[in-house]
Copies of this chain bind each other. A is one copy, B any other.
Amino acid sequence: MPVGSEMHRWATELFPICRSITGNGVRETLKQIGKRISLTVHEVPSGTQVFDWKVPLEWNIRDAYIKNARGERVVDFQKSNLHVVSYSQPVKQRMALAELKEHLHSLPDRPDWIPYRTSYYKESWGFCLSHNQLLSLTDPEYDVCIDASMTEGNLTYGECFLPGESQDEVLISTHVCHPSLGNDNLSGIAVATFLAEWLQMRPRRYSYRFLFIPGTIGSITWLSRHQHEASRIKHGLVLTGVGDAGPITYKKSRQGDAEIDRVMAHLLKHGGAPYSVCDFIPYGYDERQYCSPGFNLAVGCLSRTPHSQYPEYHTSADNLDFMKPQALAESLWYCQSTVDILEQNLTYLNQNPHCEPQLGKRGLYRAVGGQAGEKSMEMALLWVLNLSDGRYSMLDIAERSQLPFEVIARAASALSSQALLVPQPSQES
């Protein structure tokens, strides 16, 4: 099965789980992830102080409905977990329609879609339903039930650490707190998981840390408990909304010219597909926390259509159909290519810096004429030799030569095999 289809199939399994920022939905999701990659699950007790925030109570829900006078469920949590405002207080009572309506959310402009709503930091309860459903509520009274609990418990998150030669780390972070929504964020969960699966089989110069966390409170919790480890993170990506059919979008880190920012810009420029690169703004996903001034990590955000720019966002229309196997595969490819560049982006020293070495006698120059890409390989050899004075990394050379990184890397490899190039010593920061 093509990898995109496999990711989509796996996301389909995770789709029904009712996730929130705490609770069993997250645990169940992490259990499924743990079947594919080596995952450690952490539990942080409610009430734990994490910087300016407190870990909230654990929320679990068993059932919820609105019943009419005939006892029929006119709104039913069993049919869609979007029907309950996430983190709703429990409720069980009969109430007049007018009173009930103050707790109902719908989208008049999209009368068939159920909106997704949360109320994490304010005590309340509510139901979400399609506007057509709302219009059909005409009985004078309804029985309302949210069978949920809000208790001292834990915040749960998963972590997969893949050690490399260096203690320097690459962070991949994705949120696991959304219920039955596809692009936001089963797409991110799938790409992160499959990336880790691919990476755990490979030799690694960097160490890699994958975080599967509830949005905002999860990254704050991790950072507050791992300030020392955080300083080892040299590059990072937040993955979210990477499954829709729109063009790939990279939002730069706060630093703006970090290596990860330049890697992504290079990859997208040479990737051949439509894309956009945006400057950092302090709004969005967990990059807000990683890029807070006390950390200022080189963490950008990879998505496809930005969340504010598609109507399906945070509605039942962000479903499994909205997420495309091919888009998932392409997003994974960009992540893998990012890893490839980060791993190979060394700075070399030309061992024959005075004039050009004679490439012909080493079989490197016009050895095989007529081959496609031959000309750019010859130019790559000359560029790598010319710029490998210790001040230019492979990526610097790719940028200045306007050649793809991969061609530059192959040239460096050919030159290294002839002892014309050696890596600059001690590139660990």
**Contact present for A295 and B220 (CB under 8 Å):** no
Interface residues of A in 258-312 (CB under 8 A from B): 281-283, 288-289, 291-296
- Report B-chain residues with C-beta under 8 Å of the C-beta of A383: 281-282
A18 at interface (Cβ–Cβ under 8 A)?
A: no
Chain B residues whose CB sits within 8 angstroms of the CB of A223 once the complex forms: 354-355
A45-71 interface code vs B (CB 8 A; 1 in, 0 out): 000001111000000000000000000
Bound together, the chains give a CA A392 to CA B157 distance in angstroms of 35
Say yes or no for A406: interface residue by CB 8 A criterion.
no
A242 CA to B388 CA, complexed, in Å: 31
Taking CB as reference atom, which chain B residue is nearest A357? B52
Q: Tell me how many chains of this kind the complex includes.
A: 3
A51 to B385 CA separation, bound complex (whole angstroms): 15
Asked whether A350 is an interface residue with its Cβ less than 8 Å from the other chain, the reply is: yes
What are the residues of chain B within 8 A of A429 when measuring CB–CB? none
A355 contacts B51, CB within 8 Å?
yes
Select from chain B the residue with minimum beta-carbon distance to A352: B52
Binary flags per residue of A186-217, CB closer than 8 Å to B gives 1, else 0: 00000000000000000000000000000010
Cα distance A50–B358 when bound, in Å? 11
Closest residue to A290 on the B side, CB-wise? B355
Complex-state Cα separation, A20 to B213, whole angstroms: 71
Question: Among the listed B254, B281, B389, which residue makes an inter-chain contact with A379, where contact means beta carbons less than 8 Å apart?
Answer: B281
Closest CB of chain B to A360's CB: distance in Å? 5
* CB contact under 8 A between A389 and B296, given known A282-B382, A283-B382: yes
Beyond A379-B281, A388-B293, is A354–B121 a contact (Cβ under 8 Å)? no
Residue A151 is within 8 A (CB to CB) of chain B in the complex = no
Closest to A379 in B: B283
Tell me the bound Cα distance from A332 to B385 in angstroms.
Answer: 33
Is the pair B288, A51 in contact by a Cβ cutoff of 8 Å? Answer: no
Interface string of A152-182 (1 = CB under 8 A from B): 0000000000000000000000000000000
Contacts of A288 in B (CB 8 A): 356, 382, 386
Cβ distance A310 to chain B, nearest Cβ, rounded Å: 19
Cα distance A422–B174 in the bound complex, in angstroms: 33
A296 to chain B, nearest CB (A): 7
Contacts of A231 in B (CB 8 A): none
User: 1/0 per residue A350-388: CB within 8 Å of B?
Assistant: 101111111011000000000000000001001101111
User: What are the interface flags for A208-239 relative to B under an 8 Å C-beta threshold, 1 for contact and 0 otherwise?
Assistant: 00000000100110011001000000000000
Query: How far does the alpha carbon of A295 sit from the alpha carbon of B356 in the complex, in Å?
Result: 11
Taking a contact as CB atoms closer than 8 A, the residue among B293, B356, B387 that contacts A289 in the complex is: B356
User: Known interface pairs A293-B388, A385-B282. Does A51 touch B352 (Cβ–Cβ under 8 Å)?
Assistant: yes
Write the chain B residue with the least CB distance to A293: B389
5 pairs across A/B with beta carbons < 8 Å?
A: A52-B355, A53-B355, A281-B379, A282-B379, A293-B389
